[in-house]
């Protein structure tokens, strides 16, 4: 697996796409920081923010933290925390269950590494294709 970098000159959609290539059973979603209340309540929907994904990292980050390198051994909760604490960017690792239901990670999955969670998705038949998502 190649490293995924989060740098100022990349589009959010590029970072999300590289993440999906590395972890095909997972999604890395970015949300506008002003939608944090929706995100915290679990009611934010990724398809609401497609336009937001076309922005460069430098346009959306609220803090200028160090470049982030995403690797498979990074825990889900650590990745999400680093995005928020170091960059002021609201990010979520998510997945699509075999029935097409879109799911946020939570207490059970947050302590898994990205690689372990991706393997879990493969074993449980999570979907790779977001075109079958229930909205």
Average pLDDT over residues 81-91: 89
Where residue 47 falls among pLDDT bands split at 50, 70, 90? Answer: low
Report the range out of 10-24, 34-48, 51-65 with the highest average pLDDT: 10-24
Query: What per-residue string of b and e applies to 10-43 under the rule 16 or more CB within 10 Å gives b?
Result: bebebbbebbbebbebbbbbbbbeebeeebeeee
Residue 133: per-residue pLDDT: 47
Q: How many residues does the chain have?
A: 135
Assess whether pLDDT exceeds 50 at residue 70.
yes
Q: Which residue has the tokens 């990205």?
A: 114
| CA-to-CA dists, residue 93 to 12, 44, angstroms | 14, 13
Where residue 46 falls among pLDDT bands split at 50, 70, 90? Answer: low
Given strand 27-31, what is the order of strands in its sheet? 27-31, 90-96, 102-104
Phi, psi of 11, rounded to the nearest 5 degrees: -80, 150
Interhelix angle 76-87/114-124, rounded to 10 degrees, is: 130
**Joined tokens for residue 26:** 């997972």
Helix residue ranges, H only, 11-133: 12-22, 36-41, 57-60, 76-87, 114-124
Does residue 93 sit in helix, strand or coil? strand
Residue, of 130 and 132, whose pLDDT is higher: 130
């Amino acid at each position: 697996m190649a490293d995924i970098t989060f740098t100022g000159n990349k589009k959010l959609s590029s970072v999300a796409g590289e993440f999906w290539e590395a972890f095909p059973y997972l999604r890395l979603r970015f949300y506008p920081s002003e939608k944090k209340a929706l995100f915290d309540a679990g009611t934010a929907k990724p398809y609401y923010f497609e336009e937001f994904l076309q922005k460069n990292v430098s346009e959306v980050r609220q803090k200028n933290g160090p470049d982030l390198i995403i690797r498979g051994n990074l825990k889900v909760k650590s990745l999400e925390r680093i995005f928020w604490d170091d960059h002021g960017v609201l990010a979520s690792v998510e997945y699509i269950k075999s029935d097409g239901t879109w799911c946020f990670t939570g207490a059970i999955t947050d302590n898994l590494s990205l690689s372990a969670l991706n393997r879990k998705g493969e074993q449980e038949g999570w979907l790779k294709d977001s075109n079958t998502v229930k909205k």
